[in-house]
């Protein structure tokens, strides 16, 4: 029987008491992509600064199901993809992990076929994969749907060509970029995502011999190349979403909270939002120190592709806005249904009106009260945990395993800076 853990949090009742240092882990949205990219390389790929999160374990099992060897030691991880020969992904595993779709590109490019179910992951509105399928078709793959799975074939290998993303897609950009490294001709991708994780994934591929130009802009050109394992371990970039979530917590409950191991230029949009709210921040090298101001100013937030405000940071900042004095508007432009968790904040005492599935009005400042609730998805789950941290009373956040998918040892990190939080097994 599978145990479902919960987090029990004794809230600070709005008192800014958190102090000390929180170190950000390696980025979930980077390690999952380079683990998939390792499937392109007939050899051993080594990574360091790897977060200990459930999604990394799931991706490792997916790779092992296709014949790779995945080993882990502390924060180091090795993928040996030379023995890979499988092309059919385990349906249950693939459905548990949105990033499973990314693995389709490397497997198709290397072996000429791949079979996978519609990918799963968080329930945050529609997340169609037509952009992936049309991209693969443009590169010469034949696609069929059979018994709940997609089957893609390119027995002669992928061809070169040009593809325009009708919507900006981070995973779409990464998946087609990976697949294109083994294509027979040059591939041009247009309207690409520019997220730091896309750039960092390209850097890994380039260090293995890939010929990729324009990464970090909206047009990426990939020329045919042969890939070989790099000599040294590749370091996973810091998780900017985790950093932004801790900065939001510090703005609400920080006496003097330092978030370290970050790349500040990855956080420009969020840092500017905090400054607009009157939050004192000190940036020094790879760390940012934050304290809760006496008065938080309201602000309007609109999520947007990088370098705009990240959709994954929207939920923690909505919690923060409940503590600002006045009216704020949050516009979620990326995912439908991503504001559903605000109903739980209302139960805690927040004044939030959903104007539409994409727009919420928050009126503050409102004290929050404890709640017993299950985590609905990774980011909303973490946001509810932050809300519990500033609330009055003892909250229970169930489905801790969902938060574990994206955050390493969250209760240890928060305990170390003064929050009363413990994990309870039900």
pLDDT (tens digit, 9 = 90+) per residue, 35-72? 999 999 999 999 999 999 999 999 999 999 999 999 99
Alpha-carbon span 244 to 250, nearest angstrom: 10
Domain 5-25+238-425 has CATH 3.40.50.800: no
Q: What are the residue ranges of CATH 3.65.10.10 in the chain? A: 5-25+238-425, 28-235
Report the pLDDT value the prediction gives residue 126, as an integer from 0 to 100: 45
Report the pLDDT value the prediction gives residue 47, as an integer from 0 to 100.
98
Q: How far apart are CA 123 and CA 14, in angstroms?
A: 30
Residue 38: its pLDDT value, please?
98
Cα–Cα nearest to 393, from 415, 367, 374: 367
Helix (H) or strand (E) holding 247: helix 240-253
Q: Assign domain 28-235 one CATH number from 3.40.30.10, 3.65.10.10, 3.90.15.10, 3.40.50.800.
A: 3.65.10.10
Per-residue model confidence (pLDDT) at position 1? 38
pLDDT of residue 120: 62
Please, what is the end-to-end C-alpha distance for the chain in angstroms? 11
d(CA 47, CA 234): 5
C-beta neighbour count of 15 within 10 angstroms: 12
pLDDT for the residue 21: 98
**Sign for the pseudo-dihedral over CA of 406, 412, 416, 418:** positive
Predicted pLDDT of residue 337: 86
Q: What is the mean pLDDT of each run of 10 residues along the chain (426 residues)?
A: 82 98 98 98 97 96 98 98 97 89 96 89 56 95 90 96 95 97 98 98 98 98 97 98 98 98 98 98 98 98 97 97 98 92 98 97 98 95 98 97 95 98 93
The answer to whether 31 and 47 have CB atoms below 8 angstroms apart is: yes
Distance CA 215, CA 203 (A): 9
**Count of alpha carbons within 13 angstroms of residue 418, beta-carbon side:** 17
């Amino acid at each position: 029987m599978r145990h479902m853990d919960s987090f029990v949090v004794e809230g600070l009742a709005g008192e800014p008491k958190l102090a000390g240092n929180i170190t950000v882990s390696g980025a979930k949205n980077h390690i999952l992509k380079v683990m998939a990219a390792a499937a392109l390389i007939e050899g051993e790929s080594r990574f360091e600064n790897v977060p200990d999160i459930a999604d990394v374990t799931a991706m490792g099992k997916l790779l092992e199901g296709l014949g790779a060897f995945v080993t882990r030691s502390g924060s180091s991880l090795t993928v040996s993809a030379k023995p890979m020969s499988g092309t059919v992904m385990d349906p249950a595993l693939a459905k548990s992990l949105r990033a499973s779709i990314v693995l389709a590109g490397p497997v198709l490019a290397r072996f000429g076929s791949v079979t996978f179910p519609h990918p799963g992951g968080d329930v945050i509105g529609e997340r169609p994969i037509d952009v992936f399928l049309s991209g693969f078709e443009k590169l010469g793959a034949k696609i069929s749907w059979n018994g709940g799975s997609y089957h893609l074939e390119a027995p002669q290998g992928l061809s070169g060509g040009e593809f325009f993303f009708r919507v900006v897609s981070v995973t779409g950009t990464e998946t087609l970029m990976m697949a294109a490294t083994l294509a027979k001709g040059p591939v041009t991708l247009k309207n690409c995502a520019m997220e730091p994780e896309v750039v960092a994934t390209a850097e890994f591929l380039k260090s293995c011999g890939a010929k990729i130009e324009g990464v970090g802009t909206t047009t990426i050109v990939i020329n045919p190349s042969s890939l070989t394992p790099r000599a040294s371990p590749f370091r996973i970039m810091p998780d900017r979403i985790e950093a932004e979530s801790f900065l939001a917590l510090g703005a609400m409950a920080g006496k003097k909270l330092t978030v370290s191991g970050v790349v500040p230029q990855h956080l420009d949009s969020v840092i500017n939002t905090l400054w607009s709210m009157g939050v004192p921040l000190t940036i020094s090298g790879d760390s940012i120190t934050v304290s809760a101001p006496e008065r938080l100013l309201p602000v309007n937030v609109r999520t947007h592709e990088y370098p705009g405000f990240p959709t994954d940071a929207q939920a923690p900042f909505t919690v923060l806005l409940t503590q600002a004095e006045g009216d704020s508007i949050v516009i979620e432009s990326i995912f439908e249904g991503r504001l559903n968790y605000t109903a739980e904040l209302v139960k805690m005492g927040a004044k939030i009106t959903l104007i539409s599935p994409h727009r919420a009005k928050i009126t503050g400042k409102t004290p929050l009260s404890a709640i017993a609730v299950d985590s609905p998805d990774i980011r909303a789950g973490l946001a509810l945990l932050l809300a519990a941290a500033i609330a009055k009373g003892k909250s229970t956040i169930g489905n801790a395993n969902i938060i574990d998918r994206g955050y390493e040892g969250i209760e240890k990190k928060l305990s170390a800076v003064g929050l009363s939080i413990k994990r309870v097994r039900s």
